[in-house]
Amino acid sequence: MNLKLKVWRQKNAQSEGKLVDYEARNIPPAASFLEMLDILNDELQAKGEEPIAFDHDCREGICGTCSLTINGIAHGPSATTTCQLYMRTFKDGETIYIEPFRARSFPVMRDLVTDRAALDRIKQAGGYITARVGSAQDANSTLIPKTAADLSMEAAACIGCGACVAACPNASAMLFVGASVTHLAALPQGQPERRERALRMVRKMDEEGFGNCSNHYECEAVCPAEIPITVISNLNREYAAASAREAAI
């Protein structure tokens, strides 16, 4: 396959960026999107040019590190991670726009690399449990209803990539926060910090400059882990209950 690429190039966080034209030639349709960039980078380096910087780690759809906006869509057209997107999805000769995730809370560091540490800081604010769980116990020693286990596992699938933020017109992180709060609120181990968790994570999210949900559903559409938007309803309920309790104390 031969493709025309328009790639966001930006020297550092302070400089202005711009789209630069490249041609990717003889790309195997079975190559992943990141492998296509690897091939292009090899050619750029052979010519003595600066390779394109982009984030990646596992390349298996697990870690959430890859993060490209492809033709205006976070992670591209097939609701998967960028590393699991294959070139056969595109047409030979197609022009592809490649940009970093766009959000005020995700500053561009270089080319296609953004700083998404704001999500880590939200997690640090409350997305954990403090109970000492010890070593693994028999699966049936802590009885958890199947519906609660399913809800928790579904929410725990979030890989923290930030595509939800990049896709949202408000740059809201509520799908990410809702997944974390839902995951832990459904389990007995998550009860001791349940109220504080919702308050701390939502307040940290606001402090980091993320917007609020206004029901565009774009986050759900691009989420590679298929986190349902109902986790945001859960988050709103958890936050309202925690706020009411805090006001009553």
CA distances, 138 to each of 141, 145, 151, 184, 190 (Å)? 5, 16, 21, 20, 19
Q: Find out whether 32 and 84 touch, Cβ atoms under 8 Å.
A: yes
Q: Looking at 2-10, 42-50, 51-59, 88-96, which segment touches ligand FES (CB under 6 A)?
A: 51-59
d(CA 95, CA 33): 14
Q: What is the CA radius of gyration of the chain?
A: 20
Tokens linked to 168:
């949202």
Q: Which of 9, 59, 203, 237 binds ligand FES (CB under 6 A)?
A: 59
DSSP letters for 76-98: -TTSS-GGG-BGGGSPTT-EEEE
Q: Which of 62, 117, 131, 244 binds ligand FES (CB under 6 A)?
A: 62
Query: By C-beta, is 219 or 242 nearer to ligand FES?
Result: 219
Q: Does the protein bind ligand FES through residue 58 (CB under 6 A)?
A: yes
Cβ 119 to ligand FES shortest distance, Å: 14
Q: Does the protein bind ligand FES through residue 241 (CB under 6 A)?
A: no
User: Taking CB under 6 A as the rule, which mask of x and - marks residues 67-96 in contact with ligand FES?
Assistant: --------------xxx-------------
Q: Contact residues for ligand FES (CB under 6 A)?
A: 56-59, 61-66, 81-83
